[in-house]
Structure 1
């Protein structure tokens, strides 16, 4: 479980996050949604330790990430898996080498154990025959699946996905959503997804946090989001629906 309490962040005197609270449960796919510039990515960066909030706490199963000693922070980081927007693969490395990278950097596993773990993760995301290929030789959807394999290779307790469907066609997006949900359920991971994709919201949003101008204006799940009386959320939903219809 991840708890965030009164998270505030500003850059050059401009408030970005204004006291965000929320709880992300183990074994759930939790989504943070909102338009561009609402603070979604800044909140994610605070949660994974890229930037530090001015105030507030981020608790990983009760451990205060930003106030802990360096050893505790390192331990928490080893329990995180991150799928970056665009996949963030190394172009000069094969698919297998990309997935193995965290094991090379953070473990003392034997080469045979690393290879076994990499092959398992590639098989889990449906890429068991792609290990020797280069990122330039695979599709965008396959790159996202490689990114997921790399994110889970350390057997994380916490999985963060930044716009996992960015640049993908609708059918591939659904497949990526289904894969994230399956892995979350199967391994009991606490999963947090940053997205503006309403198909993801309605498909896998077991907990949804809506941000608007740095504030949390609504939280709930995909069974009650369409019944919201929050005007800003309803406008966001309508704009997404209109955009999907225009793309048909």
Structure 2
């Protein structure tokens, strides 16, 4: 479980996050949604330590990551897997080398142990035959799956995905959602997804947090989001549906 309390962050004169608190539960898919510039990615980065909040902190199963000592932070980092928006693969490394990178950086495993783990994870995402290929030789959807394999290679307890469906066609996006969902339930990870994709919201949203102008203004799940009376969320849902209809 991840709990974060009173997170606020200001850049210059602009307050991007304003006293945001919440809980992401183990074994569930928690989604952070909202329009562009509402603070979604900044909140995620504050929680994983890429940005230090001005106020507030994040707890990982009771351990204070934001304010903890370096030993505590290093311990928690080993349990975090991250799928970045653009996959963030190393162009000069093969698929297997990309997946192995966290093991090289954070473990003392032997090379044979690392490779066993790498190919276990590649098999889990359906890419066991692609280990020797370069990122330039695989599709966008495959790059996302490589990113997921790398994110879980350390037996991650916490999985963060920043816009995992960006740049993907609808069918591939659904498959990525399904893969993230399978891994969450199978390994009982605490999974957090930043997205604006309503197909993801309605498909995998066990818990949904809606941000508007840096504040949390609604929380719920995929079963009750369409019943909301929150004006900003209703507008967001209407615009998302309109855009989907226009793209058909």
Pairs within 5 Å for 1:1-248 = 1-248=1-248
* TM-align CA RMSD: 0.5
User: Deviation string for 1:155-204 (max 9, x for gaps)?
Assistant: 01100000000000000000000000000000010000000000000000
Task: Give the structure-2-normalised TM-score.
Answer: 0.99
What is the distance in 2 between the residues matched to 1:63 and 1:119?
Answer: 31
What is the distance in 2 between the residues matched to 1:64 and 1:229?
Answer: 35
Secondary structure in structure 2 of the residue aligned to 1:86 = coil
User: Deviation string for 1:189-244 (max 9, x for gaps)?
Assistant: 00000000000000000000000000001000000000000010010001110111
User: Deviation string for 1:127-175 (max 9, x for gaps)?
Assistant: 0100000000000000000000000000011000000000000000000
Secondary structure in structure 2 of the residue aligned to 1:35 = coil
Q: Which runs of 4+ in 1 moved over 6 A?
A: none
Structure 2 residues without counterparts, runs of 5 or longer = none
Secondary structure in structure 2 of the residue aligned to 1:82 = strand
Report deviation, 1:66: 1.2
What is the distance in 2 between the residues matched to 1:223 and 1:177?
Answer: 17
What is the distance in 2 between the residues matched to 1:132 and 1:102?
Answer: 18
Task: Give the structure-1-normalised TM-score.
Answer: 0.99
